Amino acid sequence: MSSTIIRVVVVGAASAGATAAKSLSQSSSCGSGPGNSKVQVTVVERRDHYFHNIGALHGSVEPTGFLPKLFLPLDRLFESKWGKCPRDKYKSGTSSSSGGGSDTVNEKARGGSDDDGCGDHSVVRGTLTETHPNHIVLDNGQELPFDYLVLATGSDNHSPAKIVSLTREDGIKEIRGFNQELEKASKVLIIGGGAVGVELAGEIATKYGPTSDISGSGGSKAVTLVHGNSKLGASHLNQKFHDDVKAKLEQLGVNVYLNERIIMPPDVKLDNKVCSRIINSISGKEFESDLQILATGNRINTDYMKTLAPTITSKISEKLDSIIPLVDPETNHIRVKPTLQLADPAYPHIFAPGDVNDLPHSEKNAMKAKTQGDTVAKNIKALIDVNYHGLRKSGNIKEANEALEKAALSDWSNFPRNTGMVTVGPNMGSVQFLGWNLTGGFGNFVIRKTKGKDYLLSFFGSTYGYKPDQSK
């Protein structure tokens, strides 16, 4: 008797997507659904690796040794932590299509024989271009049908916080290229004092600042950080946290300017190349530098949602209704329910965890994305348990809706709240936990024992089979 395949497509193999995919592939029954069915997980990833961007800023300043470890292959994503599931066996291959190399299947985790109760899970290289109710389309024209879809496409940021390159080889070249420019600079201007700006300033000042034991060929560097408001690191944390961050930056010799907004000349494109410039702020201050680095926040790209039709309307007048878009037109974030399903009731089988959704900015970091991936996996399993996909596919809309009501769906729990951690170099930083501050020397101690130790590579890398003694 043939098995029914429950197709789950996960777009994005960073924290949220990888967590959801791995959890779904390793359910208690080794990927099996209700009855004679099997869960088949397909991960779509535009890169040929997972890039651990939490460590990117340290890697850009100290590229020898640590940098290559930030690029983890995806071939062990579906490996069983118990070491017994047939998915421990992998098979590589390519699919045939006409799209510029994006059709490569990086790794295919072969789930044993057709009768072993496991699905065939794979990682497909490609970029999502279209989303439809029952399938997606990649940049090479390939269509992937799904019963459940997870949109974990994350966000982009300026290099070196996140890389533009799509291959491991090019990514290493990109960050080493930034480091070469940094070595040549003597006056570094960082524009933006969020977590990225603070951590980059701390890394540069630790190695090249006036209090450092300079080992690089570039000599000492003046580091200036300009921020548009009064709070550094993370705006949702309390003032004591921000004061501690500022004090530690200044301890390293960083010149910190708050409530100063830079006027960016229209003809200037900042590309992380050494170029002497004088840039003004709105208040009239002049900042002279020979390397300017933008650290002004994430960018969301959800153009792939334009092909999915919204169904919710809002009454503007007695005779006129307005369509509520699936994506916030101002921020490009996908609107979601607390369960991380799309807010539009027509698409309860589509989820959007991580940076891409419209939850508050304070809830956007790799740790929160990981817990959101867990919630998505749990909720997809709950829908599978009530056979929502089967009823929906057969056209039994009434029964499908009844099953949806019965499903034991969980809201994502934003715990712990009022919590954050920012490094100021590998040995210093500030921590807030549930509103309590770990500052001064105690905060530095916590940083050294946690994030500063390996920039959480061991913690997040374990999803991809990374081990601390891994040399490449």
- Determine contact, residues 8/380, Cβ cutoff 8 Å: yes
Domain of residue 288, CATH code: 3.50.50.60
Does a structural domain hold residue 56?
A: no
pLDDT above 90 (res 402): yes
Average pLDDT across the chain, whole number = 86
pLDDT above 60 (res 85): no
Choose between 264 and 170: higher pLDDT.
Answer: 170
Per-residue confidence band for 213, with pLDDT thresholds at 50, 70 and 90: low
Q: Residue 158 contacts by C-beta under 8 Å, 6 or more apart in sequence?
A: 293, 294, 295, 296
Q: Could you tell me if 95 and 24 lie in one domain?
A: yes
Does a structural domain hold residue 162?
A: no
Per-residue model confidence (pLDDT) at position 321: 62
The token pair that represents 465 in the structure block: 């089979």
Does a structural domain hold residue 61?
A: no
The domain tally of the chain equals 2
Q: Could you tell me if 224 and 119 lie in one domain?
A: no
SS3 33: coil
How far is it, in rounded angstroms, from Cα 195 to Cα 216?
A: 25
Does a structural domain hold residue 139?
A: yes
Choose between 468 and 270: higher pLDDT.
Answer: 270
Per-residue model confidence (pLDDT) at position 228: 94
Nearest of 191, 134, 118 to residue 157 by alpha carbon = 191
Give the mean pLDDT of 341-365: 91
How confident is the model over 187-204, as pLDDT tens digits? 999 999 999 999 999 999
Give me the phi and psi of 278, to 5 degrees please: -120, 120
Q: Is 223 exposed, middle or buried (0-12, 13-18, 19+ CB in 10 A)?
A: buried
Range of the domain at 108: 4-46+77-156+299-406
Q: Could you tell me if 334 and 198 lie in one domain?
A: no
Q: Could you tell me if 289 and 250 lie in one domain?
A: yes
pLDDT above 60 (res 386): yes
Q: Could you tell me if 92 and 241 lie in one domain?
A: no
CA atoms within 13 A on the CB side of 136: 26
Give the mean pLDDT of 310-333: 79
How confident is the model over 9-19, as pLDDT tens digits? 999 999 999 99
Q: Could you tell me if 430 and 311 lie in one domain?
A: no
Q: Is the pTM of this model over 0.75?
A: yes
Q: Could you tell me if 290 and 310 lie in one domain?
A: no
Q: Could you tell me if 421 and 286 lie in one domain?
A: yes
- Hey, what amino acid is at 412? W
Choose between 296 and 84: higher pLDDT.
Answer: 296
Q: Could you tell me if 31 and 115 lie in one domain?
A: yes
Does a structural domain hold residue 203?
A: yes
Per-residue confidence band for 335, with pLDDT thresholds at 50, 70 and 90: very high
Neighbouring-strand partners of residue 252: none
Per-residue confidence band for 421, with pLDDT thresholds at 50, 70 and 90: very high
- DSSP sequence for 394-419: TT-HHHHHHHHHHS--------S-S-
Buried b / exposed e over 338-372, threshold 16 CB at 10 Å, is ebbbbbbeebbbbbbbbbbbebeebbbbbbbbbbb
pLDDT above 60 (res 303): yes
pLDDT above 80 (res 34): no
Q: At what angle do helices 239-251 and 195-208 cross, to 10 degrees?
A: 20
Nearest of 115, 183, 168, 153 to residue 302 by alpha carbon = 153
Does a structural domain hold residue 60?
A: no
Per-residue confidence band for 306, with pLDDT thresholds at 50, 70 and 90: very high
Does a structural domain hold residue 452?
A: yes
Does a structural domain hold residue 389?
A: yes
pLDDT above 90 (res 137): yes
pLDDT above 80 (res 104): no
How confident is the model over 43-79, as pLDDT tens digits? 999 999 999 999 999 999 999 889 999 999 999 999 8
Which of 356, 386, 406 marks a domain boundary?
406
Q: Could you tell me if 131 and 35 lie in one domain?
A: yes
Per-residue model confidence (pLDDT) at position 72: 96
Q: Could you tell me if 23 and 117 lie in one domain?
A: yes
Per-residue model confidence (pLDDT) at position 4: 83
Per-residue model confidence (pLDDT) at position 15: 96
Q: Could you tell me if 25 and 132 lie in one domain?
A: yes
